Amino acid sequence: MSVIGIVSMKGGVGKTSTTANLAAAIASKLGPGRVSVVDLDPQNALHWHFGLDTSDLSGVCEQSLEDMNWRDIAEPTQFDVACLRYGPGNEADREAFETLLADEPNWLGHQIERAGLGDNAVVLIDTPPGPSVYLKQVFACADIILIVLLADAGSYATIPAMESWLDDISDLRPDLGNMYILNQVDTSEPLSRDVVDLLRQHLGRRLAPIGIHSDEAVSEALAFQQPVLAYDPHGQASHDIARLSTWLIDTLNQ
């Protein structure tokens, strides 16, 4: 099993859409029954990308508080990705869930194993932006961390904080791979090009070789509640995400 954590230090960078679109792209290559996504963000938005309804279905928050198996809430989608939503919950449930995560540092990994997704499964986990108990849980069980950035000064300024987090866990998880992904790259903007060059110099090989270009089809796909590869398979973002998924599969198989 391969576990991929999708994280960011600031909101608004397209982390959730990156999670959903990468999952769909990987599933298109690996086939049905291999790929799952887990929504660990209390915003509970990941399921929208897969056309799942908005009914108040139980999610990982409620299931965890009742000590029930996550396998029971894995929702199949038409895109060959099983989705485990965070769930609506309430403030009391969220606080209790986060207390549980703080008290049991390896809880997330145990729950994924308990769900019995299979030895050849690929699990992508979406997290809220910034430091949190969710981020600590993902750091404890992931095989690779993908850090989503925009090609702007705001994202560049968050790198030291993320690097500090990575340094803190390096002694505990020296095997944990981590890569930065550039999202919404606009090569027509001089500032965007300058930031991309700066990030390449600063991050070197830790910057994924494929960035995701700015493409209105990504937002339009969400409006139609589907991954961008289904909505606009020949668009620039779809092309980038397909290449990125191939790179990621190869990286996990090394």
Domain of 103, in residue numbers: 2-253
Q: Among 76, 39, 35, which residue's Cα sits nearest to residue 59?
A: 39
Six token digits for residue 139 = 């750091």
Residue range 105-161, pLDDT digits in tens: 899 999 999 888 878 899 999 999 988 999 999 999 999 999 999 988 888 888 998
Q: What is the side-by-side strand order in the sheet with 2-7? A: 81-84, 35-39, 122-126, 2-7, 144-150, 177-183
What pTM, to 2 d.p., does this model score?
A: 0.94
Kindly give the residue spans of alpha helices, DSSP state H, lying in the chain: 15-30, 60-65, 91-103, 107-114, 133-141, 153-170, 190-203, 216-223, 228-231, 236-253
- Nearest CA to 20 out of 235, 234, 219, 251 is that of 219
> Residues 85-113: what's their mean pLDDT?
92
CB 237 within 8 A of CB 215: yes
Q: Give the per-residue pLDDT at 137.
A: 94
Q: Summarize the confidence of residues 228-235 as an average pLDDT.
A: 96
Looking at the predicted structure, is the pLDDT value of residue 254 above 80? no
We report the CATH number of the domain holding residue 49 as: 3.40.50.300
As for how many domains the chain has, the answer is 1
133, HSE (Cβ side, Cα atoms, 13 Å): 16
Mean pLDDT across 32-39: 94
* 219 phi and psi angles, rounded to 5 deg: -70, -40
Q: Any idea what the Cα angle at residue 112 is, between residues 89 and 123, rounded to 5°?
A: 95
Q: For 159-195, what is each residue's pLDDT tens digit?
A: 998 888 888 887 788 888 899 999 999 888 888 888 8
Cα gap 10→245, rounded to integer Å: 23
Average pLDDT (233-243) is 96
